[in-house]
Amino acid sequence: MKFAGRLDLVPPYLFAELERKIEEKHRAGIDVISLGIGDPDLPPPPEVVEEMRRQVAEPANHRYPSNRGLEPFREAVAGFYRDRFNTEIDPDTEVIPVLGGKEGVAHIALACLEPGDVSLSPEPGYPPYTSGPLFAGADLHYLPLRAENDFMPALADIPTQVADRANLLFLNYPNNPTGAILADGFFERAIDFARRHSLIVVHDSSYSEIAFEGYRPPSFLETPGAKDVGVEIFSLSKGWNMTGWRVAWIAGNAEIVERYRQLKTNLDSGMFDALQLAAVAALTRARDFPQEMSQVYRRRRDLMIEALAATGLPAAPPKATPYIWAAIPEGYSSATFTELVLEEAAVVVSPGPSFGPSGEGYVRISLTVADDRLEEAARRIASSLRVAATA
């Protein structure tokens, strides 16, 4: 059999490899604690589940949806942006539902890039910032996110000939995997850069609702001029514990939204109407739910940071996201450290380089497991490090 060569352009999907390792341990009867994947352990808001139950019982909701999305869904998104970000979105032309943020990230590349174009993709970063452009036949230019730059891309370092060939710039704040938050004035600089080089900015806002100590992450669309150059991808997955539902949207520049709709009419048939109507409940009646979840993650963050510090692994507490980006101890690579905690502690963490080469020297710890399991994982990591130190 012959398959498309584009599938070989990207390494096996990070989490597929982690899942395989976890499965192996499970089969061997080992109690593995996975801090590898950002998949919330707690249930969605009850109002949303109840609304879904009601809407799924409506026969009219079971027909093909439209790719544009239902008016109540688009209105609810506009209302949410107005109240949360003080930003106006035209529900008729500036928003489209997508089947999870991942669909948006991967497919926006198909709508915006062609062979010969360049995608400016941050790394370490969410893997579809790489695979989406490669599948579209475009070239990649990685933007390294380094601690010394507060994990912001250095736009000024991009060679002019690369910037001129670029047609897409991915940004993501609060950031996965580093947990970094947006630096002051960065969106303004990105808009200016996009104007100078005629490129499209896609801001992935998947983590804007998980933030701590009063910090409220901004929307890209709040920045003057943002809608002239780009769009934002927003997902209910993390803030509302709805990863399995696949509910997200792309909002912003009307031309990009329309082009995306055109692409989608050829790829899928839109989001189940019942899901869209349940999402309305999330955005109206359960609007504050992510703040409750942020309290939970803040408690878990402190617990894990304290445990890591006690084992000589100081990590900065993130101001947002359910992730700790921990620098690994001297004498290890990200891979050998990940191997150590998997083999000695049966704890799964994500090695930094799985998010890109600049992730070397780090692991990502996800806080999406119950407190008692997280405490147990911290205890096990500490004892595996003690064992390794005395070995």
| Site membership for ligand PLP, residue 334 (CB under 6 A) | no
At CA 84, angle to CA 83 and CA 88, rounded to 5?
60
Which among 385, 325, 315 has a CA at the least distance from the CA of 356? 325
Which among 198, 148, 208 has a CA at the least distance from the CA of 169? 198
| Contact with ligand PLP (CB under 6 A) among 67, 223, 237, 366 | 237
Supply the minimum distance, in Å, between the C-beta of residue 237 and ligand PLP.
3
Site string for ligand PLP, 28-47 (x = CB under 6 A): ----------x---------
| Site membership for ligand PLP, residue 176 (CB under 6 A) | yes
Residue number with CB closer to ligand PLP (65 or 97): 97
Burial class (CB in 10 A: 0-12, 13-18, 19+), 213: exposed
| Contact with ligand PLP (CB under 6 A) among 91, 100, 133, 356 | 100
| Site membership for ligand PLP, residue 206 (CB under 6 A) | yes
| Site membership for ligand PLP, residue 241 (CB under 6 A) | no
What gap in Å lies between CA 200 and CA 120, rounded to an integer?
10
What gap in Å lies between CA 377 and CA 304, rounded to an integer?
9
Contact 248, 232 (CB under 8 A): no
Supply the minimum distance, in Å, between the C-beta of residue 82 and ligand PLP.
22
CA distances from 332 to 5, 15, 251, 306, 379 (A): 35, 22, 42, 21, 20
CA distances from 176 to 145, 192, 256 (A): 11, 24, 24
Contact 338, 351 (CB under 8 A): yes
| Contact with ligand PLP (CB under 6 A) among 248, 257, 274, 326 | 248
> Looking up tokens 């970063």, which residue turns up?
125
Part in contact with ligand PLP (CB under 6 A); list of ranges 4-12, 96-104, 159-167, 179-187: 96-104
Map the footprint of ligand PLP across residues 121-160, applying CB under 6 A: 126
Residue number with CB closer to ligand PLP (70 or 279): 279
| Site membership for ligand PLP, residue 208 (CB under 6 A) | no
| Contact with ligand PLP (CB under 6 A) among 105, 201, 210, 308 | 105
Which residues here bind ligand PLP, judged by CB under 6 A? 38, 100-102, 105, 126, 172, 176, 204, 206, 235, 237, 243, 248
